[in-house]
């Protein structure tokens, strides 16, 4: 099923509303509960819609939308961003079976022993410190494809992503900072 112009316009309008929401003034104390409750409800509705999109065979599109939403929501609510990260993990069904043949000697970042909520923050922090052309090998206990979508939403085109090992027990991905 191909998205038509109306679907694209609706998607762009929804994205614009989410961005506008993050640019609102900080809610007053009396409005804080209704803001938090509203964000929570909106997040839940979004996740239901994303799952429906995935179930219609549009998993990649659902993941991209979830990652873009995460990129916006994380600026206003760490808790709701974690909920979206968990949902993004649930949206991913498959992973490439690519093996890298030539490997330089990048540092490894093994996050298997860290609690899941801490992993993505550490990975973003580590990759943010990479120089152009430098890489890190991410070692994980599951396919980190949700993270890929978050990188694409937050830093489009600025990081390369190459599977080195694809499970079933260990995944390794070379994340390379692209030249500017």
Beta bridge partners of 110: 139
pLDDT of residue 11: 63
pLDDT of residue 164: 94
Under DSSP, is residue 132 helix (H, G, I), strand (E, B) or coil? coil
pLDDT of residue 95: 40
pLDDT of residue 18: 55
Strands 171-177, 135-140: pairing is antiparallel
Distance CA 102, CA 127 (A): 21
First to last CA, the chain: 35
Domain positions in the chain are: 5-91, 107-177
pLDDT of residue 55: 80
Q: Is the pTM of this model over 0.85?
A: no
Interacting residues of 88 by C-beta distance below 8 A, sequence separation 6+:
63, 66, 67, 70, 146, 149, 150
With beta carbons less than 8 A apart as the criterion, state whether 155 and 128 touch. Answer: no
Task: Say which CATH topology domain 107-177 has.
Answer: Translation Initiation Factor IF3 (3.30.110)
pLDDT of residue 15: 60
pLDDT of residue 69: 93
* pLDDT tens for the 180 residues of the chain, in order: 455 555 666 666 656 655 555 454 544 445 567 888 888 888 888 988 888 888 878 888 889 999 999 999 999 999 999 999 888 888 885 443 333 333 456 799 999 999 888 899 999 999 999 998 899 999 999 999 999 999 999 999 999 999 999 989 999 999 999 986
């Amino acid at each position: 099923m191909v998205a038509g112009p109306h679907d694209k316009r609706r998607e762009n309008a929804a994205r614009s509303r989410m961005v506008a929401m993050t640019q609102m003034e900080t809610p007053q104390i009396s409005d804080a509960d209704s803001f938090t409750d509203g964000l929570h409800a909106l997040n839940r509705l979004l996740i239901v819609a994303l799952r429906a999109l995935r179930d219609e065979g549009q998993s990649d599109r659902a993941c991209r939308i979830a990652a873009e939403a995460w990129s916006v929501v994380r600026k206003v609510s760490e808790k709701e961003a974690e909920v979206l990260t968990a949902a993004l993990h649930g949206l991913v069904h498959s992973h490439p079976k690519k093996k890298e043949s030539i490997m330089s000697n990048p540092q490894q970042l093994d996050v298997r022993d860290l609690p899941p909520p801490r992993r993505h923050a550490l990975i973003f922090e580590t990759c943010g410190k990479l120089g152009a052309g430098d890489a890190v090998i991410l070692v994980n206990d599951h396919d980190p494809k949700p993270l890929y979508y978050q990188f694409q939403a937050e830093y489009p085109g600025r990081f390369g992503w190459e599977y080195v090992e694809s499970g079933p027990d260990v995944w390794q991905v070379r994340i390379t900072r692209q030249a500017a």
